[in-house]
Amino acid sequence: MSSLHSAQSPSVPWWRVHGFLIGLVLAVILGFIIPGPGSRHGGLHAEVVSNGGIALILFLQGLSLALEKIKSGAANWRLHVIIQSFTFAVFPVVGLMLNGIVPWLFPDQPQAVRDGFLYLCVLPSTISTSVVLTALAGGNTAGALFNAALSNILGVLVTPILVHLLMQKTGQTGEFGPLLLKITLLTLLPFSLGMLARPHVKSLIEGHKVWITRISNGVILFIVYAAFCESVEQQIWHRFGTTLTLQTGAVVVALFVFMSLLVWGACRALRLNREDSIAAYFCSVKKTLAMGVPLAMLIFGDRADLTLILLPIMFYHPLQLFVNGLLANRLVQR
């Protein structure tokens, strides 16, 4: 979810263009200032609202998924293999490597942050910003749309399975059956219902895309607020402080740069044309916060250190928007 569509119009105020990022910052600040209502069993009943909000987000994502626009990009199988391989194979392998390297670099970093990097690496791509940036840079827009949508459809089930498998690799286990049932009820079911309902309300949805985005973003901001409330109540930040934030930011930047170079290198080695290379890059390096936050609530929701798990994706999200926005504008000038 992003406002990059609006970013192309100079008449739109900057605070509207970057409204979601501003909202993220405010949600974090509010969580530190007023943690009581949003904490577990607080007055806002965050655990109940969050579960309903997760189902709502996935339903709206299903409603917004224009399958009729995706068909034109379905035939380019080489592009699909590259993007999905990076999203659900190469990135997770890099996540496992990070899990071994980060403790050596930062021995005091809590396990929750390492889990957060593993989680970041198995998330699907974004839809809206991947397509917008590909179009802006002159890439294969149809291919980007097909792959971004496909990775989100696959991600509803593949991401939790990969999280489970990777946690086992790092010595952490948990019961997966009840989790899979909960994910199916709160994500796959509403997502499928949204896709089935779309043909009947297509004109209404197309005319109210802005409000759909605002509702989804509002739920995400509430979940982020609630996560930070719980972490403050549990005094997690008193234990780790500023050093942890700086360490996490440094690793996120290194991960983003490494994956960006790896994707461009693979595109060159496989001799993709310019349009497909641009689509492959923007779809392969992007990670979705819109689906990442709700899924994290389902997978890690009972953990008091959920905020630390979300920390890598919350750093990665603005970084990918900023750098890729500059890169797209640079590519279109060539």
Distance CA 324, CA 329 (A): 9
**Quick check: 278 and 140 in contact, CB under 8 A?**
yes
Residues 6+ positions from 185 with CB-CB distance below 8 Å: none
Distance CA 284, CA 321 (A): 14
Give Cα separations from 153 to 13, 142, 328 (angstroms): 33, 17, 25
Q: What is the pLDDT along the chain (334 residues), one digit of tens a residue?
A: 444 444 444 566 666 666 777 888 888 889 889 888 877 667 777 777 777 877 887 788 778 777 666 666 677 888 999 999 999 999 999 999 998 898 898 888 888 899 999 999 999 988 777 887 888 788 898 888 888 888 888 887 788 888 878 776 655 555 666 766 776 777 778 888 888 888 888 888 777 778 887 888 888 788 788 877 877 776 766 677 778 888 999 999 999 999 999 999 999 999 999 999 999 999 999 998 878 888 888 888 667 788 889 999 988 988 888 888 888 878 865 6
Report the pLDDT value the prediction gives residue 31, as an integer from 0 to 100.
Answer: 84
Closest CA to 308 of 206, 223, 218, 240: 240
Give Cα separations from 45 to 39, 112, 225, 296 (angstroms): 8, 24, 12, 18
Report the pLDDT value the prediction gives residue 180, as an integer from 0 to 100.
Answer: 67
Distance CA 113, CA 245 (A): 10
Q: Write down the H helix ranges in the chain.
A: 4-7, 14-17, 19-33, 46-64, 67-70, 77-85, 91-105, 111-121, 128-136, 141-169, 177-183, 189-207, 209-233, 236-269, 274-284, 289-300, 306-332
- Within 10 A of 68 (CB to CB), how many other CB atoms are there? 10
Tell me the one-letter amino acid at 101: I
Exposure letters 237-265 (e unless 16+ CB within 10 A, then b): beebeeebeebbeebbeebbeebbebbee
CATH topology for 15-332 is Na+/H+ antiporter like fold (1.20.1530)
Instruction: Please indicate, yes or no, whether the overall pTM of this predicted structure exceeds 0.75.
Output: yes
**Quick check: 43 and 37 in contact, CB under 8 A?**
yes
